[in-house]
Amino acid sequence: MDEAKARHLRPTSSLVRRLTQLNLAVMAGCMLLAFTLITLLLWLTARERQAEAAEISIAQLAHNVLPMVIFGDSTAAKHELSLVGQQQQLLYVAVRDREAKLFAELTKPDFSPPTLDNQPLHSTPYIAFSGLQLMLHYPMWMQEQLEGDVLMVMDITGLLYWFLRVVVMLAFLLALLFAGSAMLLARVQRQALAPLLSLTALAQQVGQEHNFTLRASVVREDEIGILTLRFNDLLKRLEKWQKELNQQLQQEQLQGQQLKQLAYRDALTNLPNRLALNTRLKQLTSDTTQHQVLSCLMFIDLDNFKYVNDHFGHDAGDETLVTVARRIQKMVRDTDLLCRLGGDEFALLLTRVSQPEAAEKLAERIVKKINEPIVVKEKVMPIGISIGLAYYPTDATSSLDLLNCADEAMYSAKRAGKNDFRVYSRGAT
């Protein structure tokens, strides 16, 4: 991830919300599983209780009709069955004798009774569920003699309705419990993760502001507390490194400025050098807005400077150069540029000259000023000065051509007897 993306980074999801969702998903799964198991167990238990109650009822019925079967009183048996048939959930009840023949029966409307022909008697109690119906067989014994059996079919739809109501109530209670647990869980997790969220916000602020003096508060001495301590240690190191880096950058910037000054300054006279002049000339000639403004370049060369070095020494020559530079510098404007090109050569760039006569008058004053005695170690230095003038853009429109024109004009002054100035003229030799 690059710095721009990191700077504008925003969390796309909340850690508290994500953890809450995961915990709620686990809790919901556990509650759903528990709900399923509870409902299944409740249904099985309800059926078992229904079967036990029905078994008691059929056992009592078998005990009551046994004498009637033995004595063949089917009328009394039917009357007994009618009493039992008052139960709403009873669909069918039948009594068979020892020959497995139907002795008495009672059938509710819209119910198709099972076929009992050619079915042997049940010697033991038998209970079976078929859909929403409960079927029971109960034998009738008399002194170890099977005298017949009783068949009962019961409707358990009412049991199903009761079970569904209980399930709905249980589901509603579980939903309330789940909602309350979700709210409590989110609150607890938010409180538990508050130090981590605060640490995240601080990291985001540090990343945006690059302010490594910020520190996080240690709330609890747990894993998050240890992480906070390590994060603070990292911020301390970054703060120290940032200070050292800033100091190093300041030093390098200062050194760079010094090197720049050295690159564009003459060490002896502290004037701009040839590189500075070339840079200024390129700016001048490349700026189209300056094409209608007159500028003048003076190429300056000292006369008899070699004689000064040979007879008075290089120290006297250096002091002479410094004196010449100071005298000329005092005569020009702040917007003009005086440079030492090397040796005894100087250049003066005059920008925004009102008219050529102004530049020529300045050149004349410079010649007179330099002709004033220059005394070094109580000795007068026998030097003069030759100046060549060229104008931009009338004489040249490029920096190199302007330099060549000014240099050619200076040599014209040398050939004319030195210690004077000349203006560049095309066709002059």
Cβ neighbours, 10 Å, residue 196? 16
137: left (phi over 0), alpha (psi -120 to 50) or beta: beta
pLDDT above 90 (res 348): yes
Listed in sequence order, the residues at least 6 apart from 80 whose beta carbon sits closer than 8 Å to its beta carbon are 61, 64, 65, 68
CA 128 to chain CA centroid, Å, is 66
Asked if 142 and 67 count as a contact pair (C-beta separation under 8 A), the reply is: no
Q: How far is CA 303 from CA 56, 307, 417, in A?
A: 144, 9, 10
Give the E-state strand segments of 233-310 in sequence order: 295-303
pLDDT above 60 (res 227): yes
Residue identified by tokens 């089917």 is 74
Asked if 382 and 302 count as a contact pair (C-beta separation under 8 A), the reply is: no
Per-residue pLDDT at 290: 65
Average pLDDT of 300-305?
Answer: 94
325: left (phi over 0), alpha (psi -120 to 50) or beta: alpha
pLDDT for 1-56, tens place per residue?
Answer: 444 444 444 554 566 677 778 888 888 899 899 999 999 999 999 989 989 998 99
Q: Reduce the DSSP state of residue 275 to 3 states and report it.
A: helix
Average pLDDT of 188-207?
Answer: 78
Mean pLDDT over all residues of the chain? Answer: 87
Cα–Cα nearest to 193, from 161, 225, 216, 236: 225
Per-residue pLDDT at 9: 47
- Give 204 or 94, the one with higher predicted confidence: 94
Per-residue pLDDT at 368: 95
Q: Reduce the DSSP state of residue 155 to 3 states and report it.
A: strand
Residue % of the chain over a pLDDT of 70? 93
pLDDT above 60 (res 163): yes
Residue identified by tokens 């100091």 is 247
Task: Report residue 427's pLDDT band, with 50, 70 and 90 as the boundaries.
Answer: low
Question: How far is it, in rounded angstroms, from Cα 54 to Cα 56?
Answer: 5
Q: Which two tokens stand for residue 321?
A: 């150069």
Q: 170 forms bridges with which residues in the sheet? A: none
pTM value > 0.75: no
pLDDT for 349-397, tens place per residue?
Answer: 998 898 999 999 999 999 999 999 999 988 999 999 999 999 999 999 8
- Give 236 or 359, the one with higher predicted confidence: 359
Average pLDDT of 293-319?
Answer: 93
pLDDT for 99-151, tens place per residue?
Answer: 889 999 999 888 888 887 778 888 899 999 988 899 999 999 998 899 999 99
What burial letters (b/e) apply to 377-412, b meaning 16+ CB within 10 Å?
eeeebebbbbbbbbbbbebbeebeebbbbbbbbbeb
Question: How far is it, in rounded angstroms, from Cα 297 to Cα 399?
Answer: 10
Per-residue pLDDT at 138: 93
Task: Report residue 289's pLDDT band, with 50, 70 and 90 as the boundaries.
Answer: low
Listed in sequence order, the residues at least 6 apart from 167 whose beta carbon sits closer than 8 Å to its beta carbon are 39, 42
Residue % of the chain over a pLDDT of 90? 51
Q: Are β-strands 384-392 and 421-423 bridged in parallel, bridged antiparallel, or unpaired?
A: parallel
Position 171, amino acid: A
- Give 285 or 172, the one with higher predicted confidence: 172
Per-residue pLDDT at 2: 45
Per-residue pLDDT at 264: 84
Average pLDDT of 69-75?
Answer: 91
Task: Report residue 316's pLDDT band, with 50, 70 and 90 as the boundaries.
Answer: very high
- Give 217 or 343, the one with higher predicted confidence: 343
Per-residue pLDDT at 429: 45
Cα–Cα nearest to 271, from 199, 348, 383: 348
Q: Which two tokens stand for residue 381?
A: 């230095």
Cβ neighbours, 10 Å, residue 249? 11
Residue 422, CA atoms < 13 Å, CB-side half-sphere: 22
pLDDT above 90 (res 206): no
